[in-house]
Amino acid sequence: MEIKVRHLTHIYQPNTPFERLALDDVDFTIPSGAFVSIIGHTGSGKSTLIQHFNGLLKPTKGEVIVGDITIAAGAKNKDLKALRQRVGMVFQYPEHQLFEETVEKDICFGPLNFGVPLEEAKVRAREALELVGLPLSFLSRSPFDLSGGQMRRVAIAGVLALHPEVIILDEPTAGLDPRARRDILNLFARLHREKGITTVMVTHSMDDAARLSDEIIVMDHGRMVMKDRPEAVFTRTDLLRSLGLDIPEPMRFLQRLGARSGEVLSEPAFTVEQTAEIVTRFLNREGGPSWS
């Protein structure tokens, strides 16, 4: 499902001493089925931006169009419920919102709220639990007896059970350990690939953004400063650093190696495997001995 953002401006607490311009004339389109990451310095407007995608915040000016639903400044929005059903939002630390006695009840809560019959909701709960890689035996357990990573997966299952066409992720791996982080990212990469879900991820990890995204949106002080493929975004090292961001770690390493050797090693590299390839080629270039 396509997301169009048109001249979106958002001002928090207007006409008070706390008034603050959080988004300033932001304009872009996310094509249906894309995986887009949003990066930006703390307070650059990333979270404010995505909260418009399911109508949690309303534009002060401009509009947001998700599929055929338009949320415009100053207009009455009758379609919020339909919007929220289509756009699943996974907040930061979503496990803080678990509240039911059992995992099954918690996952069913959303679908039931949107009028899905109980039996159907239970079927969806099973499917969702399998999607997030937890055994069905968890259905009858209390969510509060689970580990942090498991709780987060249950919370995500609750969003998936709505059968959203768009998934919005606000730092989905914050606070998880490396293994749980990998599991969660693989999950969303798979959902995107297999189900064609349009995915928007806010992240502080340049490495995750580089590896997973079709496109990256770079925010600064409430404005969009770049929207491009990762290979293009991460060649702008100086600009990114001036915004408090950086290039992915493999590229930082190659830059260091390049600086030491006087060669420019600035080609995009987002994984350790790619880096190893580039380093091997670097070693094999004329002048040095040859390693396979």
Partner 1 sequence: MRKEKIIEVRGLSFRYADDSDWALENVNMDVYAGEWLAIIGHNGSGKSTLAKCLNGLYIPQEGSVKVAGRDTSDGEALWEIRRLVGMVFQNPDNQFVGTTVRDDVAFGMENHGIPRDEMIVRMEEALALVGMSDSADREPHRLSGGQKQRVAIAGIIALQPAIIVLDEATSMLDPKGRSDVLAVMRRLKQEKDITVISITHDLEEVAGADRVIVMERGSVVQAGAPREIFKHPKVLLDLGLDLPFAVNLREHLVQKGIPLPGDVFLQEELVEELWKLKSVT
| Smallest separation, CB 96 to partner 1 (Å) | 8
Give the CA angle between residues 50, 56, 62 to the nearest 5°: 70
Q: How far is the CB of 90 from partner 1 (least distance, A)?
A: 14
* Closest CB 273 distance from partner 1, rounded Å: 7
Cα 37 to Cα 34, 130, 170: the distances in Å are 10, 25, 10
Of 42 and 137, the one with the shorter C-beta distance to partner 1 is 42
Output the six-digit token pair for 207. Answer: 């490495």
Provide, rounded to whole angstroms, the least separation between the CB of residue 143 and partner 1: 15
- State the nearest-atom distance from the C-beta of 57 to partner 1, in Å: 13
Q: Which is nearer to partner 1, 85 or 275 (CB)?
A: 275
Tell me which DSSP letter residue 137 carries.
Answer: G
Of the pair 76, 291, the CB lying nearest partner 1 is at: 291
Question: How does DSSP assign 210-240, residue by residue?
Answer: HHH-SEEEEEETTEEEEEE-HHHHTT-HHHH
Nearer to partner 1, 68 or 273 (CB): 273
| Residue 279: both structure tokens together | 């380093």
The Cα–Cα gap between 125 and 127 comes to 5
Catalog residues that contact partner 1 under the rule CB under 8 A. Answer: 12, 18, 39-43, 47, 92-93, 147-149, 171, 174-181, 204, 206, 241, 244-246, 249-250, 252-253, 256-257, 260-261, 272-273, 275-276, 279-280, 282-283, 287-289, 291-292
H-assigned helices in the chain:
46-50, 80-86, 103-113, 118-131, 148-160, 178-195, 206-212, 230-233, 237-242, 249-261, 272-284
Q: CB 154 → partner 1: shortest distance, Å?
A: 15
Nearer to partner 1, 74 or 178 (CB): 178
Q: Are strands 215-220 and 223-228 parallel, antiparallel or unpaired?
A: antiparallel
Closer CB to partner 1, 66 or 265, in the complex: 265
